[in-house]
Structure 1
Amino acid sequence: MEIKNDDLSDGEVISLMEEHLSDMYATSPPECVHALDINALKGPRVTFFSAWENETLAGCIAIKSLSSEDAEIKSMRTAHSFRGKGVASKLLLHLLNFAKQQGYTSVSLETGTQSYFAPARKLYKKFGFMDCGPFSDYKLNANSQFMTRGV
């Protein structure tokens, strides 16, 4: 599997991110959807990675700089045909290594509390993420679970 820094210009990547955003709105109240759209993912504080198996998109993940020490995971998504094959673990490990190389000391995330997000929460806990309170501009709400870990 090849994980590369991606400029979000590939149609497959755009489709996967549109699917991701659509699922977020289908599973969470609109005011609790914190997923970034394509334009926001192209922002200067975001680094976006895509994972490819041969020439097929397997998944993606992004990291957003919050400060010189803190970053946030955004837009982690595995393509349907690659679910259960370790893609998310490889992407998360890649992102954590990147965060360490960039000098971040912590990486945090916001995910949903609904059952739809249970596999994601399980993965994050497997990688040492711990529950925490809201960070950055987030507010406490019943639909968000916040997690963090050192790098």
Structure 2
Amino acid sequence: MPAFVIAAEDPATPDIAALVASHLREMHACSPACKVHAMPAARLAESDVIMFAARVDGELAAIGALKALGPLEGEIKSMRAADAFRGTGAGRAILAHILAEARARGLCWIGLETGRHPVFASAQRLYAANGFRECPPFAGYVSDDFSLCMGLPLA
């Protein structure tokens, strides 16, 4: 597995913004517009979100963000490995970093919304392997044929 260097970064950084835009295009290609909950780079730069980037020798490998839902809960947003780094552990590394950050901030629970389309199967497996389980909808989401809510107690 490559040595990933993970740090908080500005979502407007050109390579991060390009990966976020690619992620949004893929989400729109496999989900109805009303079911695309991925955030554009400008939203990921707001004060309630912290964007993390995993890099190998400066090259962007993966991104993921932690969004505050309140003082004790958070949400994972915009998890995505760059195409060249899929299957290298980049997604696992960024997820582990986000979970460590959530725990360091004293969060007791973290959730995420993902899709049920087959393109999301590897993401679902990654989350399940890290203890996430299907949970009731939260933060205005609806679980249905397109959306799946998953959560993980951190305390």
User: Structure 1 length normalisation: TM-score?
Assistant: 0.98
Q: Secondary structure at the match of 1:109?
A: strand
Residues 72, 107 of structure 2: 8 Å contact kept: yes
Partner of 1:144: 147
Asked if the contact 2:48/2:68 (under 8 Å) is kept, the reply is yes
Determine whether 1:16 maps to 2:16: no
**Counterpart-to-counterpart distance in 2, 1:37 and 1:93:** 23
User: Matched residues in 2 for 1:103 and 1:48: separation?
Assistant: 18
Superposition deviation, residue 51 in structure 1? 0.6
The alignment's TM-score, normalised by the length of structure 2, stands at: 0.95
1-structure distance, mates of 2:148, 2:11: 27
> Could you tell me which of 37, 43, 46 is aligned with 1:43?
46
* Partner residue of 1:84 out of 51, 69, 87: 87
Deviation (angstroms), 1:140: 3.1
Q: Provide structure 2 residue ranges, at least 5 long, that are not aligned to the other structure.
A: none
- TM superposition shift of 1:39: 1.1
Gaps of 5+ in 1: none
The match for 2:136 is: 133
Secondary structure, counterpart of 1:4 in structure 2: strand
Instruction: Return the match for 1:74 from 66, 72, 77.
Output: 77
What fraction of aligned residue pairs are identical, expressed as a percent?
Answer: 36
Distance in 1, matches of 2:151 and 2:12, equals: 30
Deviation for aligned residue 1:9: 2.9
Cα displacement string for residues 18-76 of structure 1 (whole angstroms, at most 9, x for unaligned residues): 00011000010000000001111011100100010001100100010001011000000
